[in-house]
Amino acid sequence: MKAEQFKQGREKGTEYLLQQLSSNGQFGNPAAGVTDYYKVPSAFQVSGRTQSANLLIDWIRKNGFKPDGDFGPRPGDNDLYYYLYFNSWVIIGAQRLGQFDLSQKGMEYIRQFWDFKSGGFYSSVIDVSPETKQDLWVTSGCGQAALYTGHMDIAIGVGTWMKRLMELQPDYPRKLYTVYSRSKGLYTEIDKSDPIRYVLINATEGDQYFFHPGIAAGFLAKLYQATLDQQWLDLSIQYMKFAETASDHLLNLLRAGKVAWAASVLYTLTSKEIYKNLAEKIGSNILAQQSTDGGWHSVEAPMLRNDATAEMVVWLDEIYQATRE
């Protein structure tokens, strides 16, 4: 019964997104550009709306695909530290749909920001140096894009970077530090202007970037599927240790969606009930926060409904596929 509820939630979310798609393929708020549409091709694809997905992809090709392989339009700051995270979703969505001109050229663009010495991705498209920070969630997203497009040297490099990050943790699983640079190593001194960027704690209130263990473990589980190298499955399980004892508060955040994805993949790979239970618990929390119109509100900004809704559609599909009888 639960699995069918996840499917129904996915369908309601997809119907909400379809209402934002114009007949010419433009999606949502044109001023927001890639920051509004980037997750939507994957959401349409997992829901079986391939015609709508390809309509959107064609609009991106004509209006948002730059000669160098970057995606736009880009509102505001062009040096957000998570700039490449938007690209990774578009690349994966295009690859899922067989739109290889976008996915392969898009991957070539983000490849130039891969630090082959550390294995991570720079959290800047302007300043690329040993001092430039590398964030766990940005590196994970780019690694997933590399995995989808067959750039296995990058994907394995990302896995190696994640292994080093875990080895450097001073207080795991009580805390997960998430920022690294080649010159400094692991950042354990927290920038008070943006503390949740640097460390995840098992909080009982307030916002936390609880997607970190999920996006890392999910990528590593998929890397194991691609390579059958046991070290990546073991490391995926290690990253999920934080989530296994997470507070109900963290599990109720929409940011937990990536943890549910990772748990779904790990349940498929290991058949361990702990992962099924975790995926179902978070999935139920996600459904409880779905609005009557099918959408979800973003944690950071209630206006970013399309972003949150597209991602929840993808994760509900992952939970449904893993837990259905």
> Which CATH number is 205's domain given?
1.50.10.20
Number of domains in the chain: 2
Structural domain contains residue 85: no
Question: Which distant-in-sequence residues (6+ apart) come within 8 Å of 86 by Cβ?
Answer: 34, 35, 38, 71
Q: What's the pLDDT at 297?
A: 85
Q: Is pLDDT of 303 > 70? A: no
Query: What is the arithmetic mean of pLDDT over 146-156?
Result: 98
What token pair was written down for 95?
Answer: 């690859």
Query: What is the arithmetic mean of pLDDT over 290-304?
Result: 80
Residues 257 and 307 in one domain: no
Q: What's the pLDDT at 30?
A: 85
Structural domain contains residue 285: no
Residues 119 and 27 in one domain: no
Query: What is the arithmetic mean of pLDDT over 112-135?
Result: 97
Q: Is pLDDT of 261 > 70? A: yes
Q: Is pLDDT of 31 > 90? A: no
Q: Is pLDDT of 299 > 90? A: no
Residues 124 and 268 in one domain: yes
Structural domain contains residue 87: no
Q: Is residue 231 within 8 Å of residue 167, measured between CB atoms?
A: no
Burial class (CB in 10 A: 0-12, 13-18, 19+), 249: middle
Q: Using 50, 70 and 90 to split pLDDT, how confident is the model at 79?
A: confident
Residue spans of beta strands (DSSP E) within 69-182: 134-135, 175-177, 179-181
Structural domain contains residue 84: no
Residues 258 and 324 in one domain: no
Residues 139 and 230 in one domain: yes
Residues 64 and 14 in one domain: yes
Structural domain contains residue 172: yes
Q: Is residue 234 within 8 Å of residue 190, measured between CB atoms?
A: no
Phi, psi of 166 (to 5 degrees): -65, -40
Structural domain contains residue 226: yes
Q: What's the pLDDT at 169?
A: 98
Q: Which residue has the higher pLDDT, 83 or 30?
A: 83
Q: What's the pLDDT at 142?
A: 98
Farthest-apart Cα atoms in the chain, separation: 53
Q: What's the pLDDT at 5?
A: 97
Domain span including residue 211 = 113-273
Q: Is pLDDT of 263 > 90? A: yes
Q: What's the pLDDT at 286?
A: 97
Residues 151 and 243 in one domain: yes
Residues 102 and 143 in one domain: no
